[in-house]
Amino acid sequence: MKFFPAVTPPTDLTTPAWWFVFRQDKLLVCQIDTNINIPIWADFAQAGLTPIRQHYLGSFNENPCYTVEVAASTAAPSGMRFQSLRALLPELSDELFALSGRALQIINWDKNHQFCGRCSATMKQSEHERAKRCPVCGLVNYPRIAPAIIVLITRGQQLLLSRARHFKPGMYSVQAGFVEVGETLEETVRREIREEVGIEIKNLRYFGSQPWPFPNSLMIAFLAEYASGELNVN
């Protein structure tokens, strides 16, 4: 199953399409038996909903994909419901969850960039790329991501886990933090570890990355080993 991003929608509007419909940060899903899925319609009018904004995302499994925002007062169609995207993480396939995150971020980008931040003119959607251009001063805004590191630290057979005050009982996390202006990813890892737990690390290695739409992050994961220092518990 493959997704191909694009900004220009197809001219054939009869092909069934995936519709990622958001009411604020909640995604419209349909459920058949125990299976939760994204609605598929050839035309959004079939949903009986009124869109505030709509963007073409590309194609997934050769079917068009659209993201749509509806009003906060919108009721879900029969047999469907609006559900928090975070709660859908274990319910959707990896591909559909990633697409849902992309869809939400594009909706939020559109909503938050209606006006130019430099001259306050109304921004115009580019026809050729995922961008908004100011017709007055020429400022261009692209969908933005906030890169963040996440690192698993080991000491022998032990893992370093921590928890924040707002975590649910029994919930722990590895260390994470946002990249600051002018930092390399490696510098971010070492700074965050010093700030959060007060230790030094060694053998830092890249592991992988994952888009994370809460709200607009790209998580870059590392592995590291404990080197020295005493844990500083806040």
Whether 126 is in a domain gets the answer no
pLDDT confidence of residue 31:
84
Average pLDDT over residues 20-31: 96
Q: What mean pLDDT, rounded, does the chain reach? A: 95
For residue 232, what pLDDT band results from cuts at 50, 70 and 90? Answer: confident
Pair 160, 108 in one domain: no
pLDDT confidence of residue 14:
84
Pair 97, 152 in one domain: no
Which amino acid is located at 169 in the chain? P
64 contact partners, CB below 8 Å, separation of at least 6 = 9, 10, 15, 17, 18, 56, 58
Whether 122 is in a domain gets the answer no
pLDDT confidence of residue 1:
62
For residue 12, what pLDDT band results from cuts at 50, 70 and 90? Answer: confident
Domain span at residue 202? Answer: 146-228
Average pLDDT over residues 37-54: 93
Average pLDDT over residues 131-157: 97
Instruction: Say yes or no to pLDDT of 209 above 80.
Output: yes
Pair 104, 32 in one domain: yes
Average pLDDT over residues 104-131: 97
Q: DSSP 3-state helix, strand, coil percentages of the chain (rounded to 5)?
A: 15, 40, 40
pLDDT confidence of residue 59:
96
Residue 88 sits in a domain whose CATH number is 3.90.79.10
Average pLDDT over residues 19-43: 93
Phi, psi angles (nearest 5°) of residue 144: -105, 145
Pair 98, 168 in one domain: no
For the chain, the domain total comes to: 2
Whether 181 is in a domain gets the answer yes
Whether 193 is in a domain gets the answer yes
Average pLDDT over residues 142-154: 97
